[in-house]
Amino acid sequence: MQHTFNSCKGLTEIDLSGLDPSSLEGLAYTFGGCGSLVTIWVDADWALPSSGVSGFQTFYQCVSLVGGAGTAYASSRAGYQYMRIDGAGGAGYLTAKGS
């Protein structure tokens, strides 16, 4: 998914529900430069694989992004590690459908 949504300036939300994340590997700049992006929706069971994933600056300059539990974007938290559902499991930028 490297650079998939890169520079999506006018997009405010993306719905990734139905996407199986189990084979994702490269997430570099997936949402880079999406300054208007506020919400990324995913299924409630979304989880990246436990190994083999990388992604420098996955959320680079996503200044409007907020996870489902209120985690707001910070430039120090722009890597792929934050491509998880925000909440009890830790800070993330994804919002589970139905939450």
CA dist., res. 11 & res. 25, Å (int): 24
Give the mean model confidence (pLDDT) for residues 86-95: 93
The pLDDT score that the predictor gives to residue 63 is 97
**Average pLDDT over all residues of the chain:** 94
27 lies in which domain range? 1-99
Rg (CA), the chain: 12
Number of structural domains in the chain: 1
Model pLDDT for residues 33-49, shown as the tens digit of each residue? 999 999 999 999 999 99
Q: How far is residue 58 from each of residues 49, 98, 99, measured CA to CA in Å?
A: 16, 24, 23
55-81 pLDDT tens trace = 999 999 999 999 999 999 999 999 999
Q: Dihedral of CA 33/35/36/41: which sign?
A: positive
